[in-house]
Each structure stands twice: as structure tokens, then as C-alpha cells.
Amino acid sequence: MLNRAIHKTPTPARRHSGARGFTLVELMIGIVVGTIVIAAVIALYITAIRGATFVTQEARLTQETRIALDLMANDIRRAGYSHPDRIEFDEETDALPRNPFMGPDLNLAIHEDENCILLSYDPTYGYTIEDPLQALDEIDEQYVFGYRLAGNSIQMLTGQIESTGSCDENDGWETLTDPATTNVTRLDFSLDRSSCLHLDADGNTSETAGLCPNNGGDEDFYFENRRVTIQLEAQHAAAPDTRVSFIAGNDHDTSLTVGVRNARIFNGSDD
């Protein structure tokens, strides 16, 4: 009887042969693989952030320099413009008409190692001429305009001066580029791409590169087609490796050449 009872006692269940844990080596391999995957994802994220930052910096730098170039180009194109009522005619001598904005004191001029330009034109968009012979310095409008490199910033003339003879005026200049983001390392102006058409007393014509001479005979006439070349280089203030360049090079030319729409016509006796 006792043997039968013992025979009926249930035996413990056998452990399933497929249920087992990870070994230490397997855990270490899994951790290493996971770390590599996470590091790759982080590296990809950092690369994307740096790329986006570079694109943003380059876009900001390009935008600021292009705005400055556009403003300079617009003013340069208008250089020498005068309202017809201001043109002086001398019917008795049949002399060439005199444009006050192309005279010696107001003619387009480049100064200070070619990093400053001054020019003038009649800002008739801002007022109505009541007296064409009124002295220019009596009108309450800016008619001399200019741009220069000061430190690492481009400055624009916003005050009133009466001559294009000097850029030394310290008042009336406003910073055009943001020094917190843009360092302008070069700003050059040149008239080398201008051309001059000469008509001598015998009616012969000749064309030369560059500006016309300021001296000649009374019967020599000159037609000066002025073209201003602007070269500019700048870098981002926080990332000097981010640069933009508008320069003339041997292999390519990215400089900006602006044609003055109003040609300067004079004879050898003009001052």
C-alpha cells in the first residue's frame, strides 16, 4: 500500500531545454553594437546641425553684401543726373551745356586708396524745383551720396555735404552692414573699365580706355563713358571660414561693374 502511494506522488516538471539567458559576452557585444548605432545617429545629427548653421551663416553674409552692392549700384547709375531745368545753356557762345552735378566739385570721385566713392545727382524725386538757379547748398535735400569702408563695415553717407572732394567727413555716415555678423575685409572702387571718345578740331575721333584727360584744346571734345568696378570681400564674424567674394581674378571675375547712365560731355577748356 505504501509502495503504491509513493508511486503516485507527482514528480517535478522538467525544465524546457530552449529557455536560457544571455551570456556576458553576448551582453557586451549587444552593448557595443548599440553604442555604435547611437554614436552614428548622434554624428549624423551633429553634421546636419553644422550644415544648417553654415548655410544660415552664408545666406546672411550673402544677403548683407548683396544689399550693400545693390544700394551702391543704384546710386552709381544715377551719378550726374540733373533735372533739365538745372542745365545751364549759353546761347551767346554756343558752349556746351553745363551740368552742375558733373562740375569739378560734384563729379564722381574715388578717394582714400580706392575704398571710398562719392557722387552726386539731382534728387528730384524728393522735391519740386521752384527756382532752377537756386544754389544747391540752399535746398533741403541730400544730393551728394557716398559709400566707404570704415574698419570692417561698409558705411553709407546719409548727411548733407556740398562736395565730392573728400571722404574725411566723420558726421553723416551710417553703418550699412552689421558688424556682429559681417566683417568686410575689402572694398575697392575703380574706373579702369571706363572709356573716352575724343573728337579733335579736325573732326577725327579716337577711343581710349580709361577716363578722358582733363586738359585739351578749346576745340577738343570728349565723351566720357564711366564704368565703376566694385570689388568686395567679407567673412562671417563668428565663422571666418564662411566667406563671400566679389573680386576680379585670373580664372574668373565675380566683381560688379556698374555703368553710369549719364555720360560726361565736355571740351578741353572746361574746368
* β-bridge pairing 182-190 and 195-199: unpaired
Please indicate, yes or no, if residue 7 is contained in any of the structural domains. no
| Residue 2: pLDDT over 50 | no
Higher pLDDT, residue 220 or 144: 144
Cell matching residue 48: 546636419
Per-residue pLDDT of 31-90, as tens digits, reads: 888 888 888 888 887 777 776 666 777 788 888 999 999 999 999 999 999 888 888 777
Residue 36 lies in a domain: no
Give residue 205's region: left, alpha or beta (phi > 0; psi -120 to 50). beta
Q: From residue 76, give the alpha-carbon distance in Å to each of 9, 140, 210, 250.
A: 110, 22, 17, 26
Q: Is residue 163 part of a domain?
A: yes
261 and 227 Cβ atoms separated by less than 8 Å: no
Q: For Cα atoms 46, 48, 52, give the angle at the middle one, nearest 5 degrees.
A: 115
Domain contains 181: yes
Q: How many domains does the chain have?
A: 1
**Domain-located, residue 38:** no
Averaged pLDDT for residues 245-266: 88
Mean pLDDT of the chain: 83
CA–CA distance, 118 with 167 (Å, rounded to integer): 7
120-178 confidence digits (pLDDT tens): 998 876 667 776 666 676 777 889 999 999 999 999 999 988 899 999 877 889 999 99
Percent of the chain's residues with pLDDT above 90: 39
Q: What is the pLDDT of residues 5-23, one digit of tens each?
A: 455 555 555 555 555 677 8
Residue 42, in any domain of the structure: no
| Per-residue pLDDT at 268 exceeds 80 | no
pTM of the model as a whole = 0.77
The vertex-33 CA angle with 31 and 36, nearest 5°, equals 110
Q: Distances in Å between the alpha carbon of 130 and those of 38, 139, 142, 149, 153?
A: 77, 10, 17, 37, 39
Structural domain of residue 212, as residue ranges? 52-267
Average pLDDT of the segment spanning 247-253? 79
pLDDT tens for each residue of 191-217 = 999 999 998 888 899 999 999 887 766
Does residue 15 fall inside a structural domain? no
Is 11 among the domain residues?
no
Q: Which residue has the higher pLDDT, 242 or 231?
A: 231
